[in-house]
Amino acid sequence: MGHGHGHGHGHGLPAGSASGRLAGRLWAAFGIAAAIMVVEFAVGLATGSLALISDAAHMLTDVVGVGLALAAIVAARRAVARPSRTFGLYRAEVLAALANAILLFGVAGYVVFEAVERFGDPPTVAGLPVLLAAAAGLAANVVSFLLLRDGAEESLNVRGAYLEVVADLIGSVGVLISALITLTTGWRLADPIIGVAIGIWVLPRTWSLARRALRILFQHAPERVDVDEVATRLGALTGVAEVHDLHVWTLTSGMEVASAHLTMAENADQSAVLAAARELLQHEYGLEHATLQVEHRDAATKCRQLSW
């Protein structure tokens, strides 16, 4: 259709996504979460503490969530070598993030339901074992929080694990408060109330994670990119008469992609236009991976005849 095209990317398509560089930290967080989860479940079941059980359930989502994140990284690395999968399996980590969000919704709903059931007849909970287990959980979550904090800004997959750690950290604080109240006052409602608070607190953060994952899966443009502005800026380049079929989407965390057709003005230098367009997309919008097609007006007319 066109008379030339350019494929621009600053440093080449990454061999792995952002979360792939953070696999070591994910493994460490996985081990910590698994160990503390076992402790909290054991103590929670032995003492009947809903607050501790809910914290252990959130810790379970850490184990499952980080496990999904690691599995997604492994799958993405293995898939790159297959020529039929031109983008590898980078979307696997977005699916993992969405699965994490769904799991968190389910756990939060269960905790709230179980806590409400207990309001009528709250059980007696032994405060000291709960206090010690919650302190161990808090220490573990602080370590995992520090491990994943920076990576959460780079990778949606890591952000899913990070949010679960944050939720557990707040949950551990809540369990500590519940245990202290139980020890000092003997108030039996403290445990189910804290359980409800932990369940409710995580819901808006979970929705934010799910919304971001769905934006990627539906191939929406990144929130930071104004597509109309990009089209206007490309159309203003010397030698460009029209811009159409412009698409901007996120493949996975840290990998944003663009494609566009540029209709040339009379006697325009195609190579110069491609270089200027790539420079604009890369340095002004951070779109290092762009596929651009330059074409004459007759080819642009044929493009408009397409149904999608």
Contact call for residues 270 and 3 (beta carbons, < 8 A): yes
pLDDT of residue 284: 94
pLDDT of residue 287: 93
pLDDT tens-digit series, residues 133-190: 888 888 888 888 888 877 777 666 677 677 777 777 877 888 888 888 888 888 888 8
Q: Which of 162, 185, 217 is the last residue of a domain?
A: 217
Residue 277 belongs to some domain of the structure: yes
In a 10 Å sphere around its CB, with 0-12 CB exposed, 13-18 middle and 19+ buried, how is residue 185 labelled?
exposed
112 plus 235 within the same structural domain: no
pLDDT of residue 263: 93
The whole model's pTM is what?
A: 0.70
97 plus 162 within the same structural domain: yes
Domain with 236, as residue range(s), is 221-304
176 plus 232 within the same structural domain: no
Q: Which of 217, 235, 257 is the last residue of a domain?
A: 217
265 plus 162 within the same structural domain: no
Reading the block at residue 26, the tokens are: 């994910």
Residues of the chain scoring pLDDT < 50:
1-3, 9-16
Residue 258 belongs to some domain of the structure: yes
pLDDT of residue 261: 93
128 plus 175 within the same structural domain: yes
The full DSSP string for the chain is --SEEEEE-SS-S-SS-GGGGGHHHHHHHHHHHHHHHHHHHHHHHHHT-HHHHHHHHHHHHHHHHHHHHHHHHHHHHHHTT-TT-TTTTTHHHHHHHHHHHHHHHHHHHHHHHHHHHHTTSPPP--HHHHHHHHHHHHHHHHHHHHHHTTGGGT-HHHHHHHHHHHHHHHHHHHHHHHHHHHHHH--TTHHHHHHHHHHHHHHHHHHHHHHHHHHHHTTPPPTT--HHHHHHHHHTSTTEEEEEEEEEEEEETTEEEEEEEEEEPTT--HHHHHHHHHHHHHHHH---EEEEEEE-HHHHHHHHTS--
Q: Which of 217, 249, 264 is the last residue of a domain?
A: 217
Residue 199 belongs to some domain of the structure: yes
Number of domains in the chain: 2
pLDDT of residue 198: 73
